[in-house]
Amino acid sequence: MISVVVPAYNEAALLGQTVRELVDGLRALGDPFELHIVENGSTDGTPTVLRQIAEAVPEVQAHSMRVANYGEALRTGLLASQGDVAVIFDADFWDLQFMKEALSVLDAAPEPAGPVIVVGSKRAPGSQDDRAMVRRLATNVFSTILRAGFGLTVSDTHGMKVLNLGVVRPIVRSCRNGSDLFDTELILRAERAGLSVAEVPVSVAELRPARTSIARRVPRTLLGLAKLRVHLGSAR
């Protein structure tokens, strides 16, 4: 079974359409799946929308958190997942074609020789990033810091991913960062455990304004990276 995890913060306007299209697409593939929507600290109508969706769609499992925290939402959804494979999507950034390509990468070289995480990279050759220039620049700087300071081998850590959950579940439990750096820590810990991480190029465009401005996100990210350095040390 495939477990799909989608954090949702103030997504009342988008969540219904996202779930409808995701469920229709996943059903068409013919494989069993579950869809974990993790509402976290929303101040709009997202909790109400999510309850209505969960009542109407049997594959949807609804989770709710009091505090807005993307990383903790991911952790909650992943640890609740029953599938052997987990897929991380955002409400405004998901692609079933990426999921199929990433699953093929996992199947082509099974663990332990092959990758246990496949990242949808906005920076890999062949990718297309149509976000605002300031967001593209921030992603480039962030990835450069991770490569130079932490030894990251892939070009991106945020966004869509497919995980061999049977292997990485203990790593999910060991991650100490929430907020924006949970999935970055997950990838770094996987690599430092001797596991392989792969990437495939993706195309991304903005469907709505970013939930957090760059001015607020940069200081938070820098502080998070300092904490991550303490937890993990420098490059291998």
Per-residue pLDDT of 91-143, as tens digits, reads: 999 999 999 999 999 988 776 779 999 999 999 999 999 988 888 998 999 99
pTM of the model: 0.91
Task: Answer whether residue 234 shows pLDDT above 70.
Answer: no
User: Residue 215: which pLDDT band, with cuts at 50, 70 and 90?
Assistant: low
- Distance from C-alpha of 113 to C-alpha of 167, rounded to nearest angstrom: 12
What is the pLDDT at residue 224?
A: 77
Query: Among residues 29, 27, 132, 56, which one has the least CA distance to residue 37?
Result: 56
**How does residue 213 score in pLDDT terms, banded at 50, 70 and 90?**
low
pLDDT value at 179 more than 90: no
For 148, what's the count of Cα atoms within 13 Å in the CB-facing half-sphere? Answer: 6
User: Across residues 73-82, what is the average pLDDT?
Assistant: 97
What CATH class does 2-232 carry?
alpha beta
Average pLDDT over residues 64-77: 96
**Given this model, what pLDDT does residue 15 score?**
97
Strand partners, 204: 129
Q: Where are the alpha helices (DSSP H) in the chain?
A: 12-29, 46-56, 70-80, 96-108, 133-150, 165-174, 182-192, 214-232
What integer best gives the mean pLDDT of the chain? 91
Average pLDDT over residues 158-170: 95
Q: What's the pLDDT at 211?
A: 61
**Helices and strands (H, E) in the chain, number of each type:** 8, 9
pLDDT above 80 for 222: no
Contact status, residue 63 vs residue 39, Cβ threshold 8 Å: yes
Q: What are phi and psi of 223, to 5 degrees?
A: -65, -40
pLDDT band at 210; cut points 50, 70, 90 = low
Average pLDDT over residues 18-36: 97
Which pLDDT score is estimated for 41?
Answer: 96
**28-40 average pLDDT score:** 97
Q: What is the pLDDT of residue 209?
A: 67
